[in-house]
Structure formats: structure tokens, C-alpha cells
């Protein structure tokens, strides 16, 4: 349990120290060191959960199984890469007099607290505490969305807070109904909202209450995850936040909200004999479909990437809804692949928007000439995120398609394939125009800082390598997570 305590304490300590230390270079290195230390601790906890036994403690308040460990792994990895990228990104913002060094200290404070709140969500056993953790992620990340204090960023943060609060209220009602579904079994026991207790008794819960609970939770946490039609806050928030925050929002925050849905889904689906899956298929397919028109008429680079996140959260949800060993394997693999590819895209987009001083895609051209390294990586990441072989997203999308056809969900799978093709066409149209063409004369032909460039290579390795080869140990991890989603207990 010492490791779990450190996992939760280190982001808080790092945040407070970065806020207190006024020496800017020391603060930068300290926050990178804190994030790196959490990588080692998080991966150590994940290894134990994957290959030894679930990690428990704190009087049954902590429970880390394969599903929890998988989310912890993604949070610490993307968190570290984003902390590395943030150094170069924030230095440029200070140099351009967009922000002051004082604001950088506040940025690192809220950044590391944000990472800490997501880790809390991932390790608690009690579903009520999970709800509290997801609410905390909203409050902390809203401050990062509003970081620049401009009209558009404040409006985006306000919309995010309002929709997030409405969603979290729905989720709270769902959790109350879930509690009612087992009140005859557990009475008013303090552990009656522990996932391990509910999961063990899933077959004895009241099916009417569990169905109502799941619908409320799906709408509530689905709002935070960016599932359509509750997704309208997402393009504004992700486009207005600093690029490293956009990467964390898309790469792991959305997964963390999905984690809340899937935790409860594993209980409810057992109670309802698999009938809850149809709701995931519907909302997953709707999220993919609603992305198509917005992707075709987009003008803002970061908004385009945000709508792509809505698509991929829909794909993950669809994969879990299709179910079976193959569908769940593809969905879990897609969570990892999307986190890596989308964070890579937002990092590359951050370099591009800082270089061109604009997020408007019509003002960006010739990126391969002005920033050959960033431009090449941006092009690779764009091909990857749209499911082009031989990159990683293609593998997981193809796996989900196979699962859909094999399980008899023919209409849903054909629509999924059609939507993916349309989104590929729309997105690549804009990406090719930005990557090629003549570079504006006023744009200097030079890469951004080494910090901003080096950070791109870490997720890039995953995007390329996992498209060609999934190591056996990682396949075992994915299978363990899929087993938990199927209703098993690791």
C-alpha cells in the first residue's frame, strides 16, 4: 500500500512545490522529475495487478485490478510525456509574452493536481468515491481550460463546468439507484457501494433499479467522456486549453470517464444478462456518426482533433458493446492506441500553432518545409488516427470490425466502416493541405524547442511499433482487462 500512497501523494507534492518555487528552471525540472517518478511507481503497481494479484488496502477503499491498472498506466505515461512537452511549450508562451512566469507556476500546480485526481478515480473501490474523483477532475481541469483567461477560453470553461455538472448530477442519481438495487441484500452497510461487493452479488441485484442506474450513469459519465449527444463541451474545451492539456484531456481524461461507465457496466450487464450492451452500441455508433459532418466542415485545427476524440470514444464504446473476447480485446487495445496517437497529434499541433500563431487551418501550409520533423510526425499521426495501415489504430479498429461481423452486428459494423471512411476523407483533406504547399514567407524554417520535439518521439514509437507488432506480454495485459470487462474478476 505504500506504493499506492506515493502514487497519489507525489502529484500533490509536485504541484505544491512547483507553485512555491519561484526559480523557473528548477520548477520545470522538478515537475518533470515528479511525473517521471510517478511513471515508475504507477508501472510497478500495474505490474503487480497484471501479473501477481489485485492490489487492495485502506480498509477495502483501494482496489486495483487489471482494468484499474491499465488506466493508471495510461495516466502516468501520458502525464509524463505531457510534462516533458510542457517545458518547451510554456517557455515559448513566456518568450512571446502570452503569459508570465508567474502563470507558468500556476499551470504546473493545476496540471499535476489534474493528474492526481485521475489517479484517485482509477484506484478507489467505492463507486461513491469514484464519483467524487470524477467531479474533482472537472473542477481542476476547468481551470486549465480557462488558463489563458480570454473570452473564448472562459466561455469554453464555463460550458465545460455547466455540462460537466449536469452530467455528474445524472451520474450521482445513477449511483443512488445502484445502491437501491442492493439495499435488500446489504442493508445500509458502508461497503454496499464497493465495486467488489456489488460485482460479487451482481446476479442478485434488482434488475429494474440496475437498468435505471446504468442509463443515468451512461448519460452522466458519458457527458464527461464526450459521448454524443452530450459531447458539445468537448470541442470548445479541447481547442481552448494549452496543447499539452488538450493531449491529456483527449488521451486520458476521456478514458477515465469511460472507466467509470465500464466499472458499473460490468455489474449491470451481469444483472441484466447482457442486455446493457445494446445501450453502448447505440451511443458508440451515434458518437461516430455525429463526428462525420463536423469533420467535413472544420476550420480550427484543434477543434478537428477534438471531434476526432468524440469518434474514437465512440469506437471504444462500440467495441465494448459488441463484446465477446474479440470485441473487448479490440476496445481495450483501442484505448491504448488512441491515447498514444491523439496525444501525439495534439503535441504536434501545439508546435504548429505556436509556429504559425494560428489554429485556423487555412492559414497553415507548408509545415513539412518549415518544420520537417514536426511536419512528418504530424502526417504520420494523422494517418494513424484515421485508421490507416500499418499504424496502431488500424489494428484495433480492424479487430472491432471483425468482432462486429462475427457476432452478427452487421448493420452496426457496416455503418461503423462507412463512417470511418468518411472521417478519414475529411480529416486527411485538411491535413494534406497543411502539410504540403508553400510555406508563408514570414514563418521561420526551424523546429520548436528540443523539449517540444523530443516529447513527440515517445508516443510516436508506440504508434509505429504497435501497428506492426503487439508484444506477447502486452497481449496478455489486454486480455486481462477484457476479462474484467466481460464480468470476470482478475
> What is the rounded distance in angstroms from the CA atom of residue 221 to the CA atom of residue 215?
10
* E strand or H helix at 152: helix 151-181
Q: How confident is the model at residue 453 (pLDDT cuts 50, 70, 90)?
A: confident
> What is the rounded distance in angstroms from the CA atom of residue 39 to the CA atom of residue 363?
38
In the predicted structure, residue 72 carries a pLDDT above the cut 90 = yes
Q: Are 343 and 82 in contact (CB under 8 A)?
A: yes
Q: Are 144 and 241 in contact (CB under 8 A)?
A: yes
In the predicted structure, residue 490 carries a pLDDT above the cut 70 = no
The CA-atom distances, in angstroms, between 342 and each of 250, 300, 337, 358 are 7, 16, 8, 20
User: In this structure, what are the phi and psi dihedrals at residue 146, rounded to the nearest 5 degrees?
Assistant: -90, 15
Predicted pLDDT of residue 442: 83
> How many other β-carbons are positioned within 10 Å of the β-carbon of residue 46?
22
Predicted pLDDT of residue 437: 80
356 in a structural domain: yes
74 in a structural domain: no
Structure confidence by residue, pLDDT tens digits, 73-102: 999 999 999 999 999 999 999 999 999 989
Query: Helix, strand, coil % (nearest 5) of the chain?
Result: 80, 0, 20
Question: Residue 323: which of 104, 484, 156 has the closest Cα?
Answer: 484
Cell numbers given for 450: 528540443
408 in a structural domain: yes
List the helix and strand counts (H, then E) for the chain: 21, 2
pLDDT mean over 410-427:
96
98 in a structural domain: no
Which domain covers residue 312, as residue numbers?
Answer: 276-490
| Total number of domains constituting the chain | 1
Structure confidence by residue, pLDDT tens digits, 29-60: 999 999 999 999 999 999 999 999 999 887 78
The CA-atom distances, in angstroms, between 292 and each of 224, 289, 401, 422, 433 are 20, 6, 18, 7, 19
- Cα angle, residue 452 at apex, residues 449 and 458 outer, rounded to 5°: 140
The DSSP call for residue 202 is: G
Beta-carbon contacts of residue 261 (< 8 Å; ≥ 6 apart): 217, 218, 221, 222, 225, 317
Predicted pLDDT of residue 128: 94
Q: What distance lies between CA 328 and its chain's CA centroid?
A: 17
pTM of the model: 0.97
How many CA within 13 A on the CB side of residue 255?
Answer: 31
> What is the rounded distance in angstroms from the CA atom of residue 78 to the CA atom of residue 95?
26
> What is the rounded distance in angstroms from the CA atom of residue 137 to the CA atom of residue 11?
13
115 in a structural domain: no
106 in a structural domain: no
Predicted pLDDT of residue 24: 85
User: In this structure, what are the phi and psi dihedrals at residue 360, rounded to the nearest 5 degrees?
Assistant: -75, 125
> What is the rounded distance in angstroms from the CA atom of residue 444 to the CA atom of residue 237?
29
359 in a structural domain: yes
Predicted pLDDT of residue 1: 60
469 in a structural domain: yes
Structure confidence by residue, pLDDT tens digits, 285-302: 999 999 999 998 889 999
pLDDT mean over 13-33:
93
Amino acid at each position: 500500500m505504500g506504493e499506492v500512497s506515493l502514487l497519489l501523494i507525489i502529484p500533490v507534492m509536485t504541484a505544491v512545490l512547483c507553485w512555491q518555487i519561484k526559480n523557473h528552471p528548477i520548477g520545470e525540472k522538478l515537475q518533470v522529475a515528479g511525473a517521471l517518478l510517478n511513471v515508475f511507481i504507477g508501472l510497478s503497481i500495474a505490474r503487480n495487478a497484471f501479473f501477481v494479484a489485485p492490489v487492495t488496502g485502506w480498509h477495502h477503499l483501494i482496489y486495483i485490478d487489471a482494468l484499474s491498472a491499465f488506466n493508471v498506466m495510461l495516466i502516468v505515461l501520458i502525464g509524463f510525456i505531457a510534462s516533458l512537452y510542457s517545458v518547451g511549450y510554456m517557455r515559448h508562451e513566456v518568450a512571446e509574452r502570452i503569459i508570465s512566469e508567474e502563470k507558468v507556476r500556476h499551470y504546473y500546480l493545476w496540471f499535476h493536481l489534474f493528474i492526481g485526481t485521475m489517479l484517485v478515480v482509477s484506484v478507489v473501490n467505492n463507486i461513491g468515491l469514484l464519483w467524487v474523483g470524477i467531479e474533482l477532475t472537472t473542477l481542476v481541469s476547468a481551470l486549465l481550460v480557462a488558463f489563458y483567461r480570454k473570452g473564448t477560453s472562459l466561455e469554453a470553461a464555463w460550458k465545460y463546468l455547466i455540462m460537466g455538472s449536469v452530467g455528474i448530477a445524472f451520474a450521482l442519481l445513477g449511483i443512488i439507484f445502484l445502491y437501491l438495487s442492493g439495499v435488500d441484500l446489504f442493508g445500509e452497510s458502508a461497503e454496499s457501494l464497493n465495486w467488489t461487493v456489488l460485482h460479487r452479488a451482481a446476479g442478485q441485484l434488482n434488475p429494474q433499479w440496475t437498468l435505471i442506474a446504468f442509463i443515468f450513469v451512461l448519460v452522466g459519465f458519458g457527458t464527461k467522456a464526450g459521448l454524443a449527444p452530450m459531447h458539445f463541451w468537448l470541442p470548445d474545451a479541447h481547442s481552448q486549453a494549452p496543447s499539452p492539456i488538450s493531449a491529456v484531456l483527449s488521451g486520458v481524461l476521456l478514458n477515465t470517464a469511460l472507466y467509470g461507465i465500464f466499472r458499473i457496466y460490468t455489474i449491470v450487464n451481469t444483472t441484466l444478462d447482457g442486455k446493457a450492451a445494446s445501450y453502448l452500441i447505440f451511443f458508440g455508433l451515434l458518437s461516430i456518426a455525429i463526428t462525420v459532418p463536423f469533420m467535413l466542415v472544420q476550420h480550427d485545427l484543434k477543434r478537428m482533433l477534438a471531434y476526432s476524440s468524440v469518434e474514437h470514444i465512440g469506437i471504444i464504446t462500440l467495441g465494448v458493446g459488441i463484446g465477446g473476447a474479440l470485441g473487448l480485446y479490440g476496445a481495450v487495445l483501442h484505448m491504448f492506441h488512441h491515447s498514444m496517437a491523439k496525444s501525439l497529434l495534439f503535441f504536434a499541433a501545439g508546435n504548429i500553432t505556436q509556429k504559425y500563431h494560428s489554429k485556423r487551418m487555412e492559414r497553415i501550409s507548408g509545415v513539412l518545409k518549415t518544420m520537417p520533423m514536426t511536419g512528418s510526425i504530424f502526417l504520420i499521426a494523422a494517418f494513424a488516427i484515421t485508421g490507416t495501415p500499418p499504424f496502431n489504430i488500424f489494428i484495433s479498429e480492424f479487430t472491432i470490425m471483425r468482432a462486429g461481423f462475427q457476432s452478427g452486428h452487421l448493420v452496426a459494423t457496416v455503418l461503423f466502416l462507412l463512417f470511418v471512411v468518411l472521417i478519414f476523407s475529411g480529416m486527411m483533406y485538411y491535413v494534406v493541405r497543411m502539410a504540403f504547399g508553400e510555406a508563408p514567407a514570414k514563418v521561420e524554417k526551424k523546429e520548436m524547442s528540443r523539449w517540444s520535439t523530443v516529447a513527440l518521439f515517445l508516443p510516436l514509437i508506440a504508434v509505429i511499433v504497435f501497428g506492426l507488432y503487439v508484444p506477447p506480454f502486452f497481449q496478455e495485459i489486454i486480455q486481462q482487462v477484457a476479462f474484467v470487462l466481460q464480468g470476470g474478476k482478475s
